Amino acid sequence: MPRKKKKENINIKSSETKIFFGLILFVLGIALLIAPIVGQQAHIFIYISRLLGWPSSIWGIAVLLISISLLTKGKSAKNPSRIAGVSLLAITLNTLFTFWLPKEALENPEGLERAGGTFGRLLHLTINNAFGNIIELVILLILLIVAFSFITGVKLEEITAFLHQMFSNIKLGDMKDKFSGEGKGEKLIISGLEDDEQIPLLEEENVQQGSEPVISGSVENDIDFSNISSKTPTTTNTTNTEHVSPSEPRYPNWVYPKIDNLQEPQKATQNQEAYKNDSQVIERVLKNFGIAAKAVKVEIGPTVVRYALSLAADTRVAKIKSLVDNLAVSLMINKELIRIETPIPGTSYVGIEIPNKTPNFVYAKEMARKLLSQADKYELPMILGKDIAGQTVIKDLVNIPHLLVAGATNTGKSVGINAILAGLLLTKTPDEMKLIMVDPKRVEMTPYNGIPHLLTPIITDMELVVNALNWSIEEMMRRYRMLEQARVRKITEYNKKIGYTAMPYLVIVVDEMADLMLVAGKEVEPKIQRLAQMGRAVGVHLILATQKPIVEVITGLIKSNIPGRMAFAVTSSMDSRVILDQTGAENLLGSGDMLFKDQTMPKSIRIQGTFISTEDTEDIIQQVKAQISDETPVYSEELKSAIERPQAEPGSSSGEREPEFAIALKIVIGEGKASASLLQRRLKIGYNKASRLIEQLEEAGAIAAQHDNSSKPRDVLVNSPEEILGEESTQDY
């Protein structure tokens, strides 16, 4: 016969007893849980509310966990630390809710029901009488942290590491669940989805005011300009100072071009869920390789999306860069198009930039609309585009003050220059700005021929550019003499003192530097250097572009004097270093995607350049040309003469001398030195003619040869004109 099963004795450890107490605790837990909700419906709930207040619900959860553990024999809710954590949380909340009550409310039973109850009052008074308010609050905060650790299973060591990182950051508002690396339930900040125009982040704060108030009536000048001829400068015998009269405005009734006919922007709808999914993919890939990262913000730019990652304090940033291949595979994009920014300027976050799958290109009309709303903030506004956060970027060329543009073929370089020129034509009259444009390709800038802003037709012959640069240097020095004459320091002060725009800005645009450096590199380089060094004060600014960013074209001498850089996509990191002195341009997308940098920025910023179509460019140009009364544009005769006049080759023996040769010889003998600037001042001639006279004097043996890289005047080798001229010296010149 089978042996009869022995009946279990009833005791404190028996299963029947555990189930019995489990049922009782289950009912008690339900009562505790719903007491704050049901209120005054039964005496038991009134008693619980007065005893425990609002935290009775937390007490109910703790009791329910214990009851479930007893009823299931420990198979469910068997973690004692979690039960202890919930209980500790309930005790802490009882005290904390009562802590904020005023003293007179501690004796009010109804007030205690809505706080921590009589139990909370007891705990609060006990701790407060012993330690005071500040220590009590610190103790309660510590107990909350410990309770959180028990409930979630997160170690106290991880919590303290998180708190240390949080308080070491400047931005305290970015408190995230960084220590867990999960951050479930938290919202990811996505910016750039709005269509409304936002306030630009990158506009100049300390820009010079673009429109100075016009001074009507009498102007207090140190020099009376009314007695000075507008065409013939005069020279005083005592000081040899050339007095130059400012030019009168030619277009007082100028009408700025309208933007109504420009192409309307086309906007694509952004998929917010796709950005969230990509941020989770990035987090997962990094987590698989042992990097705890949290995507805290997504910035949606026109063509690029940047994910801002918050990392633990001990994470090696270089490790993220080594995972570009893995990120590219997981995100299903070309790894060459991923750019990692460490850190994002002004933050402690690491940025991962990838192409926007639904790009919104930047159109000239929206940028022009933004520019015209604040045109008075800029002297020479440059429309650039929108940054990675979707903010408009408009810079002032006056503050840069020269710009170098470089990028591979078909990356948006010429379109970017056309956008800059469009911004200038939309806001500047021919009296306020003049242009000299060089286009060796003969196709990019041809439509601009005939606009009144040009001083000369578009220069396409590289051999003539040297003459144009020589004239520009001469014009720059003439302007300095005008500033000296008016006793002012810069162009804006001069125009304000005269009462109108008597000295226009001069912008020299070269669309391809490579051909220019190939034809006349040795002659061009020092001239660009001199214009870049001295041109800003008198309103002379350079915009130089090239599709060959190599050291033979963008030399160290040119780079050191041109702080503004626009780098479009290039083929190698070496080309990027030539342009920006840093890598990054090799990872750009093309189609106007650029990196911009000037002397005010420690790092370059990424911008989607403005797209302006050929039709938009022609529309603006036609509106400008339509305001010329006669069909023939008025160019500078001095510049035209300087460009077309061939330069004498050094050492040539043509025998033909300038008519002023004899007078120049007598001047250098009388002065005991020879230089082109000396002859310019004494003979009132241009730089080109003065240079030819110096060369002819050297050919004739009257002066010594120029020392290499020396700016000193040349030595005179003869004592009288007869030694060179012979009988010619007796003629009446």
Binding residues for ATP: 407-414
Separation CA 288–CA 260 (nearest Å)? 53
Structure tokens at 128: 């407060």
Answer whether 555's CB lies under 8 Å from 393's CB: no
Query: Between β-strands 189-191 and 605-611, what pairing exists: parallel, antiparallel or unpaired?
Result: unpaired
Sign of the torsion formed by the C-alpha atoms of 208, 210, 216 and 218: positive
Distance CA 433, CA 416 (A): 19
Tokens 């915009």 correspond to what residue? Answer: 543
Q: Which of 441, 440, 478, 436 is nearest to 457 (CA)?
A: 436
Annotated binding site: 407-414
Q: Show the tokens assigned to 716.
A: 């005179």
Rounded to an integer, what distance in angstroms lies between the CA atom of residue 249 and that of residue 495? 12
Q: Which amino acid is at 446?
A: T
The residues, any chain, with a CB within 8 Å of residue 237's CB and separated by 6 or more, are: none
What is the distance between the alpha carbons of residues 551 and 547, in angstroms, rounded to a whole number? 12
Helices assigned H by DSSP within 444-602? 465-486, 491-498, 513-534, 556-561, 573-580
Alpha carbon distance 612, 673 (integer Å)? 54
* CA separation for the pair 527, 542 (Å, rounded): 12
Angle between helices 43-52 and 56-71 (to 10 degrees): 110
If residue 170 lies in a helix (H) or strand (E), which one and from where to where?
none
Structure-derived torsion over alpha carbons of residues 473, 478, 482, 488, reported in degrees to the nearest 10: 20
**CB distance 33 to 60 below 8 Å:** yes
Q: Which residue do the tokens 């090239």 mark? A: 546
List, as one string, the DSSP characters of 63-114.
HHHHHHHHHTTTSSS--HHHHHHHHHHHHHHHHHHHHTS-GGGGG-HHHHHT
Q: Are 476 and 687 in contact (CB under 8 A)?
A: no
User: What is the distance between the alpha carbons of residues 210 and 198, in angstroms, rounded to a whole number?
Assistant: 22
Structure tokens at 357: 């799958």
Which amino acid would we find at residue 616? Answer: D
CB atoms within 10 A of CB 640: 14
